[in-house]
Amino acid sequence: MNRFTAPPKKNLGQHFLHERGVIEKIVLAVDPQPGDMLVEIGPGQGALTLPLLRKHGALTVIEFDRDLITPLMESAEGVGDLTIIHKDVLKVDFGKLAGESRIRLVGNLPYNISTPILFHVLEHADAIIDMHFMLQKEVVERMASAPGSKVYGRLSVMLQAVCRVVTLFDVAPGAFRPPPKVDSAVVRLLPKPAVEIGIADPVFFEALVRDAFGQRRKTLRNSVQAHCTAETILAAGLRPEARAEQLEVAEFIALANFLAAQQPVH
Ligand code: SAM
């Protein structure tokens, strides 16, 4: 019986997965283990929810669309222990949700807000073991790209600074109903331990990266002049004439830490 009668909502990025092979590949990639605290963002009509629940027995989901809450609850009856958080994912405190444990996040994300979701979950990276997300393929390419690539930018640096990014596989539009206009891809994100990240001042780091890519064709000496002079960039071991798109993630971190260490202590 199909309990989901409401038509898909475009403003909520609703493209529901229906291709069994793709669903199986995602569940296999997640590979839930006993004791894992699994959390799914945007369960929709349960394409991933029910197979994960069948395999793992318990799952927490975060869904914003009220029309989906009751049908989801009903479809999970007798399958497993489903906890539904009816809320905008951008308002969820993942640190609080994790409590004493750490969570494993899964989701076929609403593409219209995928970047804000990524930045939001990264704020709570220490509460997260790993993430498996379906995203627009173009976004996954930006996330995983290296210096010199046309798509290397703020998202690449901010993500790779705190996570290992592993591109898993592509998914064609026909796997969804309705099909999106773009290709998709599944990515695995593995947050690095804080000691490995080594960013002295995360707020400053974010501001520096934002400014550096704000005008990506400009040289560093111009794009980050609000934060430092060409001499300081040189002193940090970088070329003031380099452009942001040429800098390794580690070089951004080194520059930000060098500048942070020069700030007067209040
Ligand atoms: N997981 C389902 C699947 O694979 O078929 C649905 C995926 S659909 C691309 C995205 C889901 O995210 C929809 O169920 C949508 O209602 C939900 N969603 C959209 N914006 C949201 C938000 N701000 N917070 C939580 N869920 C949201």
Residue nearest to atom 19 of ligand 1 (CA): 12
Alpha carbons 155 and 153: distance in angstroms, whole number: 6
Residue nearest to atom 1 of ligand 1 (CA): 43
Superfamily name and number for 10-197: Vaccinia Virus protein VP39 (3.40.50.150)
Residue 110 Cα, ligand 1 centroid: separation in angstroms? 5
Q: What is the pLDDT of residue 265?
A: 53
Residue 264 has pLDDT above 90, yes or no: no
Question: What is each CA distance from 108 to 162, 174, 259, in whole angstroms?
Answer: 21, 15, 38
Residue 258 has pLDDT above 60, yes or no: yes
Residues in the chain: 266
| H-type alpha helices, the chain | 20-30, 49-56, 66-76, 94-98, 114-122, 137-144, 154-162, 194-197, 202-214, 220-223, 230-235, 249-262
Residue 61 has pLDDT above 70, yes or no: yes
Residue 12 Cα, ligand 1 centroid: separation in angstroms? 6
Mutate to test the pocket of ligand 1, among 40, 65, 181 (most ligand atoms within 8 A of CB): 65
Alpha carbons 145 and 247: distance in angstroms, whole number: 12
Strands 37-41 and 58-63, by their bridges, are parallel
Superfamily name and number for 202-262: rRNA adenine dimethylase, C-terminal domain (1.10.8.100)
Kindly indicate the confidence band of residue 98, based on its pLDDT and cuts at 50, 70 and 90.
very high
Q: Write down the pTM of the prediction.
A: 0.94
Domain with CATH 1.10.8.100 in the chain: 202-262
The DSSP code sequence of 200-219 is S-HHHHHHHHHHHHHTTTSB
CB 257 within 8 A of CB 200: yes
Alpha carbons 138 and 39: distance in angstroms, whole number: 25
pLDDT tens across 236-251, in order?
Answer: 999 999 999 999 999 9
Q: Which residue has the tokens 């994912």?
A: 89
Q: Which atom of ligand 1 is nearest to the CA of 15?
A: 9
Domain with CATH 3.40.50.150 in the chain: 10-197
Q: What is the pLDDT of residue 5?
A: 87
User: At CA 179, angle to CA 67 and CA 159, rounded to 5?
Assistant: 85
